[in-house]
Structure 1
Amino acid sequence: MAQLAPGERRRFNSEPIESVDYHHDLDYVGDGIPSHRLDVITPHERTGALPVYVYFHGGGWTSGDKAALTKYCASQAQAGMVVVNVNYRLAGRFHMQHMMHDAAACLEWVAREIGRFGGDPRRIILGGDSAGGQISALLAASASQPELARHYHLGGTDRGTVIGLVQHCSAVDFSVIFAPRFIMGLGFVRMLLPNRGKGQSLSAAARFLSPIEWVSPDFPPVLVTTSEQDFFYEANHNFADALREHGVEVEWLSYPRSVRNTRHTWQQDYRYPESQEVYRRLQSFVHALA
């Protein structure tokens, strides 16, 4: 498991938010491994059951940890939601099948347990950045795409209570990875497949990795935040267009290349005014749905 560098922990989590309660390192599988831990962050004061925002961190599928997202998640909890900040098994040793099993197991835990923390399991919004956005989008798609659910053996998981999806600079269209001179090579596709895709057509296998391939009118409403500086900008733009073509409600927030603070996954850093605008839009999006 990748460790979070002390400098990164301080950079993202300085001046902790004190108006929320933190429940750290809850084991959502029951096997005791750090990859199967989540945090639940709740407002001090709450009346009635609150919407639940379930967040998957990014890190190129190979690194990252929920700890770096603590301040980001606390910022959303402070605005009146229960936030679940999730770790999952990472590529290298594991592949996408394991990540999707972990994401589904997290949702099963939320369905059983989130009421104890004041959350409403009937009102779940999934979210993530970069690789975590891809995981959350595939999980949302699997609710209405039986072929995708069968591929990842997710048959028993109830994902019908997902009412919205938040995407920050997400890897939602793998066609961009196959484009010439893209910043990521095809090794990223291989490492997400069993046996590194040996004996498979990468382009065919990528269909089950690429959320844009599974867009349908049954998708929940989606908030997309990105910028022209983000190397997944085209992927996010394509994803939003595909959602609109299927009649899915899309909220779009993008910054031009001239805005300095908006490189890939800038949303994690609360100090930027652009991040604060993302938080305002996210909170409005969640409360409008809920």
Structure 2
Amino acid sequence: MLYQLYSARQRRSLAVLHRLAASGYNGSTPIRAPIIFPPRPFLRYLPLLIKGPAVYQQVFFRFFILFLSITAAGFTTLSSPLPAADQTSPVDRSRPQQVLEGVELELPDGASAAGGTLFIPDVKARRLWRFQPSNAQNRWRALGEGEGAFSATFYQLGTLYVADSAGSRILRLEGNRLVPWVEFSDGARPNDLVVDIYGNALVTITREGEVRRVAADGTIATVASGLETPNGIALSPDGQTVYVSLYKPGVIVQANVNNERIGPFTELARLEPTERGALADGMTIDRAGNVYCCGAAAVWIFNPAGALLDRIETPQRPINCVFGGAEARDLYISTFGGVVVQPMRAYGVAPNPPMSGPAAHPPGRPPTEIPPTLQADLNRVYYREGHRKLLCDLFVPQHDASGMPAIVLVHGGGWLKGDKTKFRPLAIKLAQQGFVTMAIEYRLGYEAHFPAAIHDCNAAVRFLRTNAAHFNVDPDRIYAVGGSAGGHLVGLLATAWDVPELQPTGSIVALASNTPVAESSRPAAAVVMAGPMQIATGSVADRSHRGQESNATHWIGASIDEAPQLYHLADAYEKISSDDPPILFITGSKDNPERDHPSLARLQELGVRTGQIIHDGATHGHWNRAEWMDRVVADIVEFLQQ
């Protein structure tokens, strides 16, 4: 409670001090952060401390001692954990809830998101709505009117799957038409569904107390039975655990996923009952593996161990929820009064791109089809930080060669958005050139501040080096490639691989027992594509000095004036040394080629192999565009093979 008496600026200062301590800061450099005076309530009630009853004096004395202990911890040892602005909750309450407007929703249920598009089934109105915020002329469009009582949707592999409860079937959206996929011949009515990255659906059948699996080929099997009113259903980000909400008892149960059978189920969490009961309804998962379940009066949020993180109250009873929006960190909550949008500090799990067929060859964009010459190992856990599992997608050439080179790919997005699938086409193209490629997710800024992201990147290199034999990788030829913010992280990988504060503090996964974890995260070479090497100086620092809201301020969690040490710690240019690996810079002529010049000059001065390739006419992010993909791949391969 004492912590909540501080102002927002003071709380941010305490959070900065705590992160400095966690990153290994030893206090040798002055901290330019606001001085934390006692909060105003202490001063307001100071007369009570002097003239009031003895019990008041005792209470104030205890609070004052607690205040002194926090302040002393912050300015001397920096060793005691301090609350970091409610970091355990993934809810962003700095922005208000909003209600989607534009159409009258009679009873919305399990929505799903595809990029910035939202699909909302209206059970009572018997229609499916498509909501596109970016389309000013036609934001709302009704689909499948009168064709069924749609209770849930799920977007995966470029396809929208729709549960038609009244029709005892699952449909798929093709263009603007709903087409039947499978029907339940016994008249079972599907309630909710989730679809894995390979196109296999798990469906709750509430009345029969079952979960049924619909394989990608349409084969139907009952994989769990004897459940009391199964309702919502969700999969963990790695696809290894299924969660089911039991409506009447208000319990969330979990089980390991198996194609033949699911179970045994164990209890993960229990919702607090109201006068109407607990009413455990629809569910979703965030990228950190936290479980969201709609209850009688709120959306409950539990971590993967079942600990309650927060509750989101809504104007009317919530029914189901899903992450969406341009950055995948808006929680859309279907309620009895419409769809409520709750801003979050968490991110939704990105759908898997199409892996075959026409959908994997979108017009004007590089293909995501995985050729038979590559073995795909998707959603592999490479690192654990507490309950958080960090995932990667690996692509391994299918031949008998041993000692293959490997590349860790780090996506961009301003440190605040994006996901590992953004580098799917690039990962496939490079794997076709004989590299084992590893496209990683890392913790983004609204989930965890710096240095979490670089901890994850260092862990990825060490994971590949630890498991080199498993993937037929040469541990001495592990490279790193990143674009934009991912380029900065790769630059930091290459220049700060020997900085202890930037090394992971969690558990790097070893796939074979008794395998020692590799100590070095130094890449053999790095390719920085339009990423800023300078953080404590240059344009990133200038925006922060001027008080402008910037991605770096959100990512680091403070301005450069409040936490200069963190900006210096994140600066790749300042850490350039003669023992760094070769670094290539790739950019477009319509981007900002000059940003690379200080690093190029410094590397050349120290005798480190380097260079810059400018693609004429290319803009920022051109490495993800079809017309530039082959050129970018050729330049990367030529540099790494030298």
TM-score, reference length from structure 2: 0.39
What is aligned with 2:589?
228
Q: What stretches of structure 1 move > 3 A for 4+ residues in a row?
A: 2-7, 9-13, 30-35, 153-157, 178-181, 198-205
What is aligned with 1:248?
608
3-state DSSP of counterpart to 2:451: helix
Post-superposition Cα deviations, 1:22-55, rounded to whole Å, max 9, x if no partner, equal 1100011257978610011111224221011111
What is aligned with 1:238?
598
Post-superposition Cα deviations, 1:66-121, rounded to whole Å, max 9, x if no partner, equal 11211111101111111111001110121111112212222232122232122112
Matched, 1:264 2:620: yes
Amino acid in the other structure paired with 2:501: H
- Could you tell me how far apart the structure 2 residues matched to 1:234 and 1:225 are? 12
- Could you tell me how far apart the structure 1 residues matched to 2:388 and 2:566 are? 29
3-state DSSP of counterpart to 1:224: strand
- Could you tell me how far apart the structure 1 residues matched to 2:600 and 2:559 are? 32
Contact 2:376 2:394 in 1 (8 A): yes
3-state DSSP of counterpart to 1:162: coil
Instruction: Determine which of 359, 369, 382 is the counterpart of 1:16.
Output: 369
Amino acid in the other structure paired with 1:177: V
What is aligned with 2:530?
169
- Could you tell me how far apart the structure 1 residues matched to 2:464 and 2:495 are? 18
- Could you tell me how far apart the structure 2 residues matched to 1:151 and 1:161 are? 15
What is aligned with 1:97?
451
Distance 1:151 1:32, change over 3 A: closer
What is aligned with 1:29?
383
Instruction: Determine which of 576, 594, 602 is the counterpart of 1:215.
Output: 576
Structure 1 stretch displaced more, 24-33 or 162-171: 24-33
3-state DSSP of counterpart to 1:197: coil
3-state DSSP of counterpart to 1:28: strand
- Could you tell me how far apart the structure 1 residues matched to 2:387 and 2:379 are? 10
Matched, 1:88 2:442: yes
Contact 1:177 1:186 in 2 (8 A): no
Task: Give the C-alpha shift of residue 154 in structure 1.
Answer: 5.1
- Could you tell me how far apart the structure 2 residues matched to 1:157 and 1:56 are? 20
- Could you tell me how far apart the structure 2 residues matched to 1:37 and 1:189 are? 24
State the aligned residue count. 274
Identity %: 21
3-state DSSP of counterpart to 2:469: helix
Task: Give the C-alpha shift of residue 173 in structure 1.
Answer: 1.9
What is aligned with 1:206?
567
Distance 1:30 1:95, change over 3 A: closer
- Could you tell me how far apart the structure 2 residues matched to 1:180 and 1:160 are? 31
What is aligned with 1:191?
554
Post-superposition Cα deviations, 1:209-249, rounded to whole Å, max 9, x if no partner, equal 22111111111111110023224x32223322221122111
Distance 1:12 1:153, change over 3 A: same
Matched, 1:158 2:511: no
Structure number with the higher strand fraction is 2
Distance 1:198 1:161, change over 3 A: closer
- Could you tell me how far apart the structure 1 residues matched to 2:636 and 2:435 are? 11
Q: Which of structures 1 and 2 has the larger relative contact order (alpha carbons within 8 angstroms, sep 6+)?
A: 1
Structure number with the higher helix fraction is 1
Contact 2:407 2:436 in 1 (8 A): yes
Distance 1:132 1:15, change over 3 A: closer
Flag structure 2 segments of 5+ consecutive residues without an equivalent.
Answer: 1-346, 355-359, 506-516
- Could you tell me how far apart the structure 2 residues matched to 1:198 and 1:241 are? 28
TM-score, reference length from structure 1: 0.82
Amino acid in the other structure paired with 2:529: H
What is aligned with 2:407?
53
Q: How does 1:132-143 map to 2 (within 5 A)?
A: 132-143=486-497
Amino acid in the other structure paired with 1:162: P
Distance 1:23 1:113, change over 3 A: same
Amino acid in the other structure paired with 2:579: D
Contact 1:178 1:186 in 2 (8 A): no
Task: Give the C-alpha shift of residue 134 in structure 1.
Answer: 1.2
Distance 1:246 1:154, change over 3 A: farther
Structure 1 stretch displaced more, 73-82 or 100-109: 100-109
Distance 1:143 1:204, change over 3 A: closer
- Could you tell me how far apart the structure 2 residues matched to 1:3 and 1:237 are? 37
Task: Give the C-alpha shift of residue 137 in structure 1.
Answer: 1.6
